[in-house]
Structure 1
Amino acid sequence: MTSADSSISKGSDQIHDYSYSKCEEDDVNTEAQHFCPKCEHYLCDKCASVHGVYLKKHTVYGRGDIQKWAGFSMDKCDQHGNKLKFHCDDHQKLCCSDCVTLNHRLCRSISNIPDLARGFSKTEEFKRLPAAVNKVGSVLDELKNARMKDQASLKDSYKNIIAEIKALRKEINKILDQFEKKSVQELDRLIKDLEKRVKDDLDTCAHMNDQLKTMVDKLQQITGKAEETDSYIGFRKCQTKLNEVTSMVQEIQRRPREGVMFKYDESVLPFLRNILGTVENVHSISKTTDNIHVFKAQIESHHSVKIKNDEKDGFILGICELPSREVVIADFNNRVKLLDQQFNVIDCVDLPAVPFDLCSIPGNEVAVASQAYDSVANAGDTLHEIHILSVTKGQLHAVRKFNTDHMCRSVIHHKSHLYVGSYDALYMYTIDGRLEKKMYEDKSGGRTVYKSAASPDGERFYVTNNRQHKLVTMDKNGQVLSKFEDPELKQPAGICVSPCGYVFVCGSVSNTVLQVDREGTQKLATVVRGTDDVCKPVSVWFNHASNLIVGKSKSDDILVIKLC
């Protein structure tokens, strides 16, 4: 037979508010730490573990869920089990006699609960409590529904990525069996971790909701002589729980949404083709989807990238991210700088000329388009170079370089090729510096090929026409598909494309960063404006954490904007 009353065992004068049922039957006085509603038994720590082995389907509640125990009363202290009689005005906490003695002896103001509770049930504050609980319950329900959608999205992402892995495996004709196995295992682990996070949030929401409903139900059932006192105690407990739930909700809402993405080293396929020589009819895998996600700025932060020996004002001309999650920037101080994941400068390399742009290439390396500054007026200047730098253990190292017969003002990488912009043309090179073709040219005057970017599948290339205020989209053969203009895109400069194909372009004079559709035909959003403390943005990068990293003219700061 269970017991929820205080008990005194033989040979002991210790009193427990809840005694462990089975121990009590054996004349052993043990305080209960758990309760099983199916068995209607109070359990100590030792026997709760035994209970869990034989009755795995029974839900056992600990002291943290004491309101679900049989015999739970709202007027009892959760910690000591005594009747709540006092209120510490200094700490705003309900107290029993033990609480006052042990924890609140030095407090200046201790009030009697009956005095505070007199007439309290008739106040507006008390009457508003159920509505406040319902409101928070609605928020919890909405949050729960959102997390359930995230859970379904993770499963869809899992299926899509498995399809990508299968397609890639077929393309290289069973060469990457081990790659598939390793990738799927990593994906399973990642999905398991992410699903656990989502499930934890779902369980927390449900648990908090149940607690609130239980407390309000108890509160509304209070009658009898101690109605006012018990109502006040119940209100204070509910109010504390509401504050706890509100903080929990805000914490979950501040977290970035879980998601997964599949990336592979694009140098693998060319490498295998060179080894085997028989791989034919290779088709690129499009990573774009029909869904359009419109981003907006959520949180922004500024990070200084100035170092001791910088002689000129900062001018962040190019930005890219490495697979190791480090960020590399091109600075007008003839420097390439390496930043850690907190955007602190950890290393730099000096070049003989200005690094006007850069991009990441396989092998944790960076290709840098370097150009003598005064060669803008003298296209015959011999200092037109592409430098290859490697990043190893947080340090930059010069690996090799090659010269070009034209200016080097921009550079991007796609599938073992470098695409170098010269201000009025876009050239395609091999990684080792062999010119293959002139892909696109516009001699209409001005900076017609200022910066460039490519879609993840390589089907579209984008160039910014700086002086004519246009974004030009072309196919992989250099055939122009569209030209985009917008009042909020004045002198377009830096441009980047996210792994999912979202296009972001800077308006250096309009002080904006726009999101443009994949076809390059319409503006989807003005993600960043001058009011967001952006002045003359000239470079932009979409990183792994869905942040936009923006480089500015004549500024030693980069702007990091969290997107949602």
Structure 2
Amino acid sequence: MSVPQTLHLPSTSVPAGKTCDLNMPCPKHKRELIKFYCHDHSALVCSVCVTLEHTVNMCKVNYIPDISGKIIDSKEYHDILKAMDTISNKYHKMSADVKKMTVKSNGSVTNVLAGIKKFRKEINQRLDELERQAEDAAKAIQQENDKNLKTLETASDDITKSLETSADSIKHLNTLKQADRLFMELKYAEQMIKEYKKTLHQLSAYNVKEYSFEPNEVISSLLEADSSLGDLSHKTLKLTSLTPAVKPRQTLYPDEICIKTSKDNSSCWITGMTLLTPDLLIITDHNNSAVKMVEICNQSVTDQLKLDGQPYDVTAVTGTELAVTLHEEQTIQFVSTTSNKLVKKHTMNVDGKCYGISSQSGKLVVSFMFPVMLQILDTNGTILTTIRGENIFRNPTYVTTNSSSIYVSDWRMKTVTRLNWQGDVIGSYGGIGQSRGITLSDDGTVFVCDSERKAVVEVTADCSKGKVVLKDLKWHRAVCLCTETCRLYISSDTGFHKDNNSVQMFNLSKTCN
């Protein structure tokens, strides 16, 4: 099987002084070696992969030795090591939490057993059987806690070792100036970091309980009855390194970024926003039928793409690909962001006027107002799940997702609704005047624009509680959170052009992490 000639591969000889160590087998095609990198899919691939899946007509593919020369001591090298160090520190903190929780949980079980013994002395011999049952229940609790604690400790230790081993290998390859291997190791490390971040949230769902014994107050008069010795109440111990204490959020006076350009024919109306990196904001300008790329550090629009209709919302599908809803056209426009340029790719037809959109693990969640519904699709347009019902949605304008949940803001229902990935409603928060844009932090906290109260409301991940964190805002529409910088981006939706032609930036306190 030959490699397409359009790749223009160099000869197999390696320039003097440069080591070519492309000797890593392809995981899909075991007889082939990895020699190429696909920018569109952030994937290390072999010749067969390029021929079958990453063709030059669809993807930007480079021969690794042609692009790896500047990887030694590069910004990417240092950024990935820094990210690995950050997540490694989180796992170290988790390990310390587990040890504290082990002591506290086991101590609580010891107290339960002591309470059982003390209460047992106050009753007659006929309660021996009930005493044994209570002790067995307490020991079963301890076994369950030990199992969960062991799972957390083992996962934390294993992942920490994996990160440390990978980091050592990267440092070693950098010292040896083995650019090709270093490049591949860094790319594998990127994927490792993404997976381990997801694992952090998954592990935080493990419940470890602290119990106390509460004697039955009427048991003395019920010695002849078939009754239990008492009840075991509990409270869940939290991994404090992953669930920081709730503190009031502090905000600084907002900055503003002007997003009006010479290409615009009218005032801006920013209806959707997403971040590709902490310094690269993508916005949809509905009035000017455009997608714009905004550099945060320079506070300027660096590229602008004219679309075939008026866009509403945008989401990042991969590190270099966006999906934009065009509601009147009833299509989703895919856009490439390679080399910091916006380029139209293919479109995908949908079953109605699409508004909000969010991407997660190769799936798209899209909200519709005509007809009113929510759909989960794959990136080829195959409908996986459809959710309808007037008791659930009336005007589901925006949607955001993480690996465990889907959150929808409905301005007419005045709610934030939480669903699982099977489409079941598992929570709802109704303390909102009129919900618009919605965004998520890494710990699952929801931020939603309340246009009626001119505020941003922070809602807990289970949608049980909410509080205002920003108030006295202009009439606002879209919102986007960067958890790395604790910065919230908000667009305006007022009758004044000067308000709509800028995006406001609010610096939240570090409790957003």
Normalised to the residue count of structure 2, the TM-score between the two structures is 0.53
Tell me how far 1:433 sits from its aligned partner.
2.1
What corresponds to 1:157 in structure 2? 90
Aligned to 1:415: 361
How far apart are residue 491 of structure 1 and its match? 1.3
- CA gap of 1:397–1:267, structure 2 versus 1, over 3 A, is farther
Change (3 A) 1:267 1:361: farther
Native 8 Å contact 1:266 1:416 kept in 2: no
Distance in 2 (alpha carbons) for counterparts of 1:370 and 1:292: 41
Please name the residue that 1:257 is paired with.
none
AA matched with 1:504: F
Aligned residue runs from structure 1 range 242-253, under 5 A: none
How has the CA–CA distance of structure 1 residues 509 and 157 changed in structure 2, closer, same or farther, with 3 Å as cutoff? same
Quick one: which of 297, 300, 324 aligns to 1:344?
300
Residues 310 and 404 (structure 1 numbering): CA distance in 2 closer, same or farther, change over 3 Å? same
Aligned residues: 304
Instruction: Answer yes or no: is the 8 Å Cα contact 1:314–1:553 preserved in 2.
Output: no
Once the two structures are superposed, what CA deviation does each residue of 1:497-519 show, in whole Å capped at 9, x if it has no partner?
01222210001222111111111
Aligned runs of 1:433-448 on 2, under 5 Å? 433-438=381-386, 440-443=387-390, 447-448=394-395
Q: Pick closer, same or farther for the CA change 1:446–1:419 going to 2, 3 Å.
A: closer
* Structure 1 residue 480, shift from structure 2 partner: 1.6
- 2: distance between equivalents of 1:187 and 1:550? 40
CA distance change for structure 1 residues 364 and 293 in 2, over 3 Å: closer, same or farther? farther
Match of 2:450 among 494, 507, 530: 507
Aligned partners of 1:348, 1:265: CA distance in 2, in Å?
29
Given the alignment, which residue of 399, 403, 409 partners 1:452?
399
In the alignment, residue 472 of structure 1 is paired with which amino acid?
A: T
TM-score calculated relative to the size of structure 1: 0.48
Q: What is the CA–CA distance in structure 2 between the aligned matches of 1:187 and 1:521, rounded to whole Å? A: 45
Residues 1:464 and 2:436 are matched in the alignment: no
Structure 2 CA distance for partners of 1:169 and 1:521, relative to 1, 3 Å = same
Paired with 1:526 and 1:344, the residues of 2 have a C-alpha distance of: 30
Partner SS for 1:393? helix
Q: 1:388·1:399 contact (CA, 8 Å) conserved in 2?
A: yes
- Structure-2 residue corresponding to 1:296: 250
Quote how far apart the aligned CAs of 1:170 are: 8.5
Q: Give the direction of change, closer, same or farther, for the CA distance of 1:453–1:391 in structure 2 (3 Å limit).
A: same
1:125-136 to structure 2, matched below 5 A, reads none
| CA drift at 1:167 | 5.5
After TM superposition, give the deviation of residue 553 of structure 1 in Å. 1.1
Contact 1:286 1:457 in 2 (8 A): no
Are residues 392 and 299 of structure 1, via their aligned partners in 2, closer, same or farther at CA, if it must alter by over 3 Å? same
Give the 3-state SS of the residue equivalent to 2:353 in structure 1.
coil
Query: 1:162-561, aligned counterparts within 5 Å?
Result: 181-182=165-166, 264-265=193-194, 285-286=202-203, 289-294=242-247, 295-323=249-277, 325-332=279-286, 333-342=288-297, 343-372=299-328, 383-423=329-369, 424-438=372-386, 440-443=387-390, 447-454=394-401, 456-458=402-404, 460-486=405-431, 489-523=432-466, 525-530=467-472, 534-543=473-482, 544-554=484-494, 555-561=500-506
Q: Residue 473 of structure 1 contacts residue 480 of structure 1 at CA under 8 Å; is this kept in 2? A: yes
Q: Shift in Å at residue 427 of structure 1?
A: 0.6
- Structural RMSD (CA): 3.8
Q: Which residue of 1 aligns with 2:236?
A: none
**Secondary structure in 1 matching 2:354:** coil
Question: For residue 312 of structure 1, what is the amino acid of its counterpart?
Answer: S
Q: CA deviation at 1:542?
A: 0.8
| SS of alignment partner, residue 159 of structure 1 | helix
Assess if the C-alpha contact under 8 Å between 2:201 and 2:443 holds in 1: no
Deviation of the 1:426 alpha carbon: 1.2
Compared with structure 1, are the counterparts of its residues 266 and 540 closer, same or farther at alpha carbon in structure 2 (3 Å cutoff)? Answer: farther
Cα drift, residue 324 of structure 1: 6.8
Q: For residues 74-93 of structure 1, what are the alpha-carbon distances to aligned partners after superposition, in whole Å with 9 as ceiling and x for unaligned?
A: xxxxxxxxxxxxxxxxxxxx
Identity of aligned residues (%): 18
Deviation at 1:311, TM superposition (A): 2.4
**Alpha-carbon offset, residue 266 of structure 1:** 6.6
User: Is the 2:272–2:314 contact (alpha carbons within 8 Å) kept by the matching residues of 1?
Assistant: yes
Partners of 1:401 and 1:291 in 2: CA distance: 42
Structure 1 residue 393: Cα displacement: 2.2
- C-alpha deviation, 1:476, in angstroms: 2.3
- SS of the aligned residue for 2:253 comes to strand
Unaligned 5+ segments in structure 1 are: 1-152, 172-176, 189-260, 270-281, 373-382
CA distance in 2, matches of 1:441, 1:187: 52
- CA positional deviation for 1:419: 0.6
The one-letter amino acid of 2:92's match is K
Contact 1:474 1:480 in 2 (8 A): yes
* Cα pair distance change 1:284/1:546, threshold 3 Å: closer
* Secondary structure of the corresponding residue to residue 92 of structure 2: helix
> Partners of 1:484 and 1:345 in 2: how far apart?
36
**1:179 offset after TM fit, Å?**
8.0
Instruction: Report if the CA contact (8 A) 1:537-1:550 is conserved.
Output: yes
Deviation, 1:353, is 1.4
1:154 is displaced (CA, Å) by: 9.3
**CA drift at 1:416:** 1.0
Q: Is the 8 A contact 1:287 1:500 kept in 2?
A: no
Mapped to 2, the partners of 1:470 and 1:297 lie a distance apart of 25
| 2:367 and 2:398 in contact (8 A); partners too | yes
Letter in 1 for 2:302: I
Residues of 2 paired with 1:287 and 1:355: CA distance? 37
Cα pair distance change 1:389/1:266, threshold 3 Å: farther
Give me the whole-angstrom Cα distance separating, in 2, the residues matched to 1:327 and 1:463: 22
Within 2, Cα distance between the matches of 1:262 and 1:499? 17
2:290 counterpart letter in structure 1: R
Q: Read off the aligned partner of 1:411 and give its amino acid letter.
A: I
Query: Shift of the alpha carbon at 1:481?
Result: 2.2
Greater C-alpha radius of gyration: 1
CA distance in structure 1 between the aligned counterparts of 2:243 and 2:396, rounded to whole angstroms: 29
Which whole-Å deviations, capped at 9, do the CAs of 1:193-224 have from their partners, x for residues lacking one? xxxxxxxxxxxxxxxxxxxxxxxxxxxxxxxx
Residue by residue over 1:23-73, the C-alpha shift from the partner in whole angstroms, topping out at 9 and shown as x without a partner, is xxxxxxxxxxxxxxxxxxxxxxxxxxxxxxxxxxxxxxxxxxxxxxxxxxx
Quick one: structure 1 residues 266 and 351, their matched pair in 2 at CA, closer, same or farther if it must change by over 3 Å?
Answer: farther
Tell me the secondary structure at the aligned position of residue 322 of structure 1: strand
Distance in 2 (CA, whole Å) between partners of 1:315 and 1:538 is: 9
* C-alpha contact (below 8 Å) 1:317/1:356 kept by paired residues: yes
